[in-house]
Amino acid sequence: MKKLIVRLVLAVVVLVIVVGVIVYLYLDTIAKKAVEAGGTYAMGVETTVNSVSLHPFAGQLEMQGLTVANPKGFNGAHLMQTGTFELELVPGSLMEKTIMLKKFELDGLDMYIDQQMPKSNISVIMDNLKKLGGGEKPKQEKPSEGKNVKVDLITIRNVVAHVKVLVGPELTIKGPPDPDE
C-alpha cells in the first residue's frame, strides 16, 4: 500500500512538472490567444495581435501589432493599431501597495476616430466595455484604497490620429516628432 501511495504522489509531481514546462514553453502563444479573445469579447469588435512575448518572472511584456477593428458602420481601416508596446515592472511590487513600472513604451499608434450621428466609434466601444461592469456597484461603508503606480519611464512616439466628424473632411494629426530623429 505504501508503494502505491509513493508512486501516486510521484506521478502527480511529475505531471505537475510536465504541465508547468509545457505552459512555460507555450506562454507566448497562450498570452496571444488571451489578448485576442479577451479584447474581442470586451470591446465587441475583432481584436488581433501579431505577437506577444511574456516573461513573468522578469516582469516584461512586449506586444507587436495590436489591432482593434472598427465597429460596423464606421469608416477607417481600424479603430486602433499599434506598433511595439513594451512594459517592464518589478514583479514583487504586484503584491505591494505601489506597483513599480520601470518602463512603459509605445512606438507606433494609428487611430481612426469617426463621429457619426448619434455616436462615434469610440463611444460604441466604451458602451461595450460598460456592459462588462455588471451594473451598479454596491455601496461601501469605507472607500476601498486601490493600488498606486510609480512609473520610471514613459515613452510614446509615432502617434497618428485620423479624425472624421460627420460629413467633413478627414483630419490627420501627427504627434510630435521623435527627438532622436
Q: How far apart, in whole angstroms, are the C-alpha atoms of residue 165 and residue 113?
A: 8
pLDDT given at position 34: 93
What are the cell numbers at 138? 454596491
Look up residue 134 and give its DSSP letter: -
pLDDT given at position 132: 82
Is the pLDDT at 59 greater than 70? The verdict is yes
Q: What is the pLDDT of residues 4-32, one digit of tens each?
A: 788 888 888 888 888 878 777 788 999 99
3-state SS, residue 124: helix
Is residue 98 within 8 Å of 132, Cβ to Cβ?
Answer: no
Print burial letters for 56-89: b (CB count within 10 Å at least 16), e (below 16).
Answer: eeebbbbbeebbbbbbeebebebbbbbbebbbbb
What are the cell numbers at 35? 489578448
Is residue 44 within 8 Å of 70, Cβ to Cβ?
Answer: no
pTM: 0.77
Q: What is the pLDDT of residues 109-158, one digit of tens each?
A: 999 999 888 889 999 999 988 888 765 665 666 666 788 999 999 999 99
Question: In angstroms, how far is CA 84 from the centroid of its own chain?
Answer: 12
Domain locations in the chain?
A: 2-132+147-174
